[in-house]
Structure 1
Amino acid sequence: MHSEPVIEFLGDVPVLQRLPSSSIRKIAQHVVVKHYNSGEYVFQEGKPGGGIYFIWEGEVEVSRTFNADNHDSQVFRWGKFDHFTQSESDMQEDIIALTKLTCLMLPHKYSPLMHPYSIWSADMNLKTCAPAEYILSLDSLDVNTFRGTTLRGAPKSGKVYGGQFMGQALAAASKTVHVHKILHSFHAHFLLAGDINFPIIYQVARLSDLPNFSTRRVNAVQEERVVFFLIASFHREEEGFDHQEPTVPSVPDPEMLLPEHLLEEGVKLPRHHPRTGVYTSTSVPWPTEIRPVDPERYTIHATRHPSISYWLRAKGRLPVDQALHRCVGAYFSDLLFIQISLNPHRRQDIFPSSISLDHSMWFHRDFRADDWLLYVIDSPTAYNARGFCRGQMFNRKGELVLSAMQVGVVRKLKPPATTSKI
């Protein structure tokens, strides 16, 4: 059997979707086709099963008796895309083909492929993996539930960074769709501030699965409260029309620009914190290299145009998995985004504040998040305490790879009270 039809089938097996794409391809190389007639045993108590079985066509009946002294039993019926293996518990188990049955069996010696170190890489090495990959790695609790944390080395400023919510939620959604379907858009809403001291449970709802598209909703839950959610759409690659209207601005190459260390080494500073070159023990490096086109625009007390452009890329090298690169792109997109709508309103005696409300993105072309991308942001309007920003990312060839929009609350705060020393 050719590997592509096998990968096509395995990509729809829910228990396999949470694996790295490379693991699914390796499994496709090692599975063995098994055929059974109706009424024939697949497993029979006392006889070895040989591996992990994935039902390609047909149905099986599973009969379980828990022990010899207890006659309690369970009977299940499983069909296409279900999987099973011989139980290692004390229960007795028989599995019988109810119809003509075809299974793909992964021999036990290859079962470690089912338990990779990371959802992105079967052989992740914490010493060498890119920080962004580490931050966007989740623990799989079941086929629709994942756990993320705010790692000690992840950027934070007293609350969960919005890009972390988006990147991790999209990672969870990506691990519930066919390996050939890639994220093309999402719409996210920030409901409550995330607590960096608690894990985040990402609950995925499989809203729709069509031949070329899939739709997922993801709730991010902390302490039994939904603090963030998004709806994401995935699309299988197709031949189609190709044009691009926006042109990449004429800016210096990133190699000609100086890094912005205050952005790379320290995250959003606390309110009223003076922007100085002194780093504190609480500063956390971004997993990102940043090259601003106009560094002078980063001063916080001067009025300026509501726009900005900067080059950025993930530090280190990411695995070759377009799903991960798009999650990292979403992670990037919240950096210096809604704050740009404050630019025309900055004064020496004004302390503005911004809070993200909703965020939408569209992915147009494949890209590598560990290669330089030019992020061009502008804010056409702010009104009624809401700012609106839009962004575009271009690769080095000038191709538009993604577009983003965000709305947030933008307010003028009272200046901090000063205490007299007299």
Structure 2
Amino acid sequence: MDVDVLLDHAASTPPRPEARAALQRWLDAANASATHAAGQAARVAVEQAREQVAAGLRCSPHEVVFTSGGTEADNLALKGIVWAARERSSGPVHLVTTGVEHPAVLGPARWLAERGDVALTVVAPDPDGRVPVERVLDAVRADTCLVSVMTANNELGAVNAIADLGPSLRERGVPLHTDAVQAVATLDVDVTAWQVAALSASGHKFGAPQGVGVAVLRRGLPVVPLTHGGGQDRGVRSGTFAAGLDAAFGAAIEAAVADRSEVRARLRALGDRLADGLLGLDGVRRNGPSAAAHRLPSHVHVSLDGVDGAALTLALDRAGIAASSGAACGSGAATASPVLEACGVVGTPLRLSLGWTSTEAEVDRALDVFGDVVPRLRRRQPAAHGA
């Protein structure tokens, strides 16, 4: 990445050395479904990666399905579980999700509702971006076939109480899906203890290459496949195994889990240093949960008064600082964030996110640039400052 300081790890973090090595080793792998020795060696690599993922997410290897990323995993969970419920039901089915979900969840949820496949309830968040467990439970009905609540929000970094929600829903016989894409890098993800029925993760958020993710699907959970073909991966996701990418995912999650405690503590300190420096500037407010336990240590989300967002990110980019005015999950169009609108966030938003390679020197360099750029941009539009 040709930048001096990367403050957009939430969009994509650099691959870990272990992932690079695994990808290189299996880049020329044979087809893992072939019966010859080369094919079986590739299949062993895939299954070893599956075991690494299961250990990292605390689930059974038989529950791990490799995907192309978090978006496919989310779509597989929502569409697959809803369609399976419709096949078993003599009447309508109901889906509950929240207003702070990633588009990879809200998109298919609304698509299913528009098709008439499901009745949809979208639960509103609190202003800090968290969704109260009680509010979600209150939305559950007798015909609810699935609840989908993200573990941690990709913009504000707000962490939801999945460990409380999962057991409560399971007592009611309602499966819970959680998008844990932003959580794996810094949170102790535990599929078994959380009692979730489905979970989504994406490799490039914690040190695997782009293009690989996983869907964890509880054994016995009915899921209609999105793709049909050779019946690979339990028949849930047909297609040739991407042995190199799968192996890299396994290596990355093993490395991420091994140093997660150290990375979490380091990023918490760096995030506080970054936030304190930014809040020392006039007209800057921090968004998201105030309690450290309720937000990702990697995320610092602020609003600035009197600064144009496009001009700010461009000025930062020219200074070698990669930052984001929103989530990197769309086509690149500059549109208002539904998450920030749902939380009532005002002002020019800026998401700064740290990762496993972040250093104190990078944070200090970024603060120096902010101290120069923000006042300079405000001088160009004095009427907007303080509005």
Query: Shorter-chain TM-score: what band?
Result: under 0.3
TM-score relative to the length of structure 1: 0.21
Structure with the greater alpha carbon radius of gyration: 1
Asked which structure has the greater RCO (Cα within 8 Å, sep 6+), the reply is: 2
TM-score relative to the length of structure 2: 0.23
Which is richer in helix? 2
